[in-house]
Amino acid sequence: MHVFKATIDSEIMKETIEAISALVTECRLHTDDNGISARAVDTANVAMISLTLGKQAFKSYEASPGEIGIDIAKIKNVFGMAGSKDSLSLLLPDTVQKLQISFGSYHYSVTLLDTNTIRKDPNPPSIQLPGKVVIAGADLYEAIKAASIVSDKISFRIDPEAQIFEMRADGDTDQIDKVFSKEDVKDIIFVKARSMFSLDYLKDMGKVMGKADLVEIYLGTDHPVRFSFPIAGGAGHVEYLLAPRIEAE
């Protein structure tokens, strides 16, 4: 029997669901004694999320190993009704395929998805991404928004010679670039790297990453990018992996 019974600040649960909803509309939440986790890939196989939310993020937590099939849009609506200071109680009852969510004097009972109908969890690919930059999440999101004015793609580049990290978008007629020197970033590993990405995906991810103090960006050349950042004040963690777009010369 799958046991899941937990209490958590509503804001932490909202932040967790936001991170997932940037990529997928349904997912499989795994529970075990250490906390909850999810790994999912978007329908176009372009972006992947790996998320963990440790037991310590919860006010109370009790769970056996198992899976919960979540309709992300529906659960967002329910959590959206909770005030920012509400505590959410989550309970998987014995008998039915439902998740009971309570806060204040409210009790929701949400039918779960059959986990067999949800796409299989992806395996994390093993790729070497030697370049690394650590910047403020707000700076990253701002650059993504700025780039979308002129184009639908953006390139990330580490230039060891110029000693810079550059985000750059080239539109049909216009271009924009944002350059970070060593002083503008928290940390940087100067390995030559350059890849281009679709802004479609980055805009949704960027909204989530914009709330993180610092985001680690791992880069290669014509390789995926990996973004890594904490959620829930450090009690949880998200990794986004995004495939590159091939540049037509």
* Residue from 3, 33, 65, 107 binding its own copies (CB under 8 A): 107
C-alpha distance across the termini of the chain, in Å: 57
Helix/strand/coil percent split, the chain, to 5: 25, 45, 30
Q: Which is nearer to its own copies, 136 or 191 (CB)?
A: 136
C-beta of 67: minimal distance to its own copies in Å?
A: 18
Q: Which is nearer to its own copies, 107 or 120 (CB)?
A: 107
Q: Is 73 in the site for its own copies (CB under 8 A)?
A: no
Q: Which is nearer to its own copies, 98 or 237 (CB)?
A: 98
Contact 169, 153 (CB under 8 A): yes
As a whole number of angstroms, the distance between CA 73 and CA 69 comes to: 12
* Residue from 136, 138, 146, 235 binding its own copies (CB under 8 A): 146
* Residue from 56, 160, 179, 213 binding its own copies (CB under 8 A): 179
Residues that bind its own copies in the complex, under the rule CB under 8 A: 74, 77-78, 81, 98, 104-111, 142-143, 145-146, 149-150, 173-180, 184
